[in-house]
Structure 1
Amino acid sequence: MGTVNVVILMGNLTRDPELRRTQGGQTVSDLGLAVNERYKNQAGEEVKKTCFVDVTVWGKQAESCAKFLRKGSPALVEGKLQFDQWESPEGGKRSKLRVVAERVRFLSGAGAGGGKDDEGGADDEPAAEPAPPSRPPQQAQTRRPMPRDARAAC
């Protein structure tokens, strides 16, 4: 049986995008995304948790992100998880989980440059890798709240 590696996140940028070029000339942009979750605990109090996610965007879409997004801009990111491992200068093993974006949608709102639409204009350019083909719509499923143990991960 195959595996699935799909991530869809909506949040706000924690910093301005950092645009750079690789030695091979490819354009890449690193984004920080804050994804908020609100829920009521057992005492009925509203709890807000924020999960901070590093996102890497490649190619033309990386250039668009650097041009149009700023700290605080709302964005929807579709991509896949990537696990990186390396050795620190001190010799210790380090690791990091990040999202490699296949598509970034610029959403209107605070920090997005305004606009009446739900999405900006330059967001539909595909990233370096094409998105997988669309699947036929599935029947709606009842959503259940995430167990508290799972929420502690972010």
Structure 2
Amino acid sequence: MQTPSEKDRSMSTNTLTITGNVTADPELRHTHGGRAVANFTVADTPRYREAGSNEWKDGETLYQRVAVWDGLAENVARSITKGARVVVTGTVQAKSFTGNDGEKRTYTELVADEVGASLRFATAVITRAGQSNR
């Protein structure tokens, strides 16, 4: 069975890779059909050196909602916690809902194909998941 990102990728080229910090522990749920899905948000604040003063300044923080499915969702829920620096690759999808005020709202969600720990500021020990999580 294909995950939503595999199915959509064959029709779309809007692949994105992001790096940042997880803002809260991933929320793991299961659909009525039994599929695991985990959601979390990745935040990244770019830094730049200001001309003239040569001081480092923070840019605007980008928050990206991420969804992961099936075995990857289970592995993410067991492995990733708030504050972890991660690298996520997947397909960007637009999602819409109607707010309490009746207005339509649209946001983007990155449906992840891959999630990994960033080793830029940390180390990791890799533990291979069981066959059922692939």
Q: Which has the higher strand share?
A: 2
Name the CA distance, whole Å, in 1 between partners of 2:117 and 2:127. Answer: 8
How far off its partner does 1:104 sit? 0.6
After superposition, residues 76-95 of structure 1 pair within 5 angstroms as 76-95=87-106
Alpha carbons 1:73, 1:109 under 8 Å: kept: no
Alpha carbons 1:106, 1:122 under 8 Å: kept: no
After superposition, residues 25-44 of structure 1 pair within 5 angstroms as 25-43=34-52, 44=54
Q: Does 1:7 align with 2:2?
A: no
Name the CA distance, whole Å, in 2 between partners of 1:39 and 1:89. Answer: 38
Name the CA distance, whole Å, in 1 between partners of 2:43 and 2:75. Answer: 20
- What are the Cα deviations for residues 78-117 of structure 1, in whole angstroms up to 9, with x where unaligned? 001110012124322111112110111123477x7x53x6
Alpha carbons 1:81, 1:98 under 8 Å: kept: yes
The 1:3/1:62 distance shift into structure 2, 3 A limit, reads closer
Match of 2:41, SS state, is strand
Q: Does 1:47 align with 2:83?
A: no
Residue aligning to 2:80 = 69
| TM-score (norm: length of structure 2) | 0.75
Task: For CA contacts below 8 A with separation 6 or more, give which structure has more relative contact order.
Answer: 2
- Which of 96, 108, 111 matches 2:107? 96
* RMSD of Structure 2 on Structure 1 (CA): 2.8
Q: Which runs of 4+ in 1 moved over 6 A?
A: none
Alpha carbons 1:54, 1:98 under 8 Å: kept: yes
Name the CA distance, whole Å, in 2 between partners of 1:81 and 1:98. Answer: 6
Name the CA distance, whole Å, in 1 between partners of 2:127 and 2:106. Answer: 35
| Aligned residue pairs, count | 120
Determine what percentage of the aligned residue pairs are the same residue: 30
| TM-score (norm: length of structure 1) | 0.66
- Which runs of no fewer than 5 residues in structure 1 stay unpaired? 129-154
- Which runs of no fewer than 5 residues in structure 2 stay unpaired? 1-10
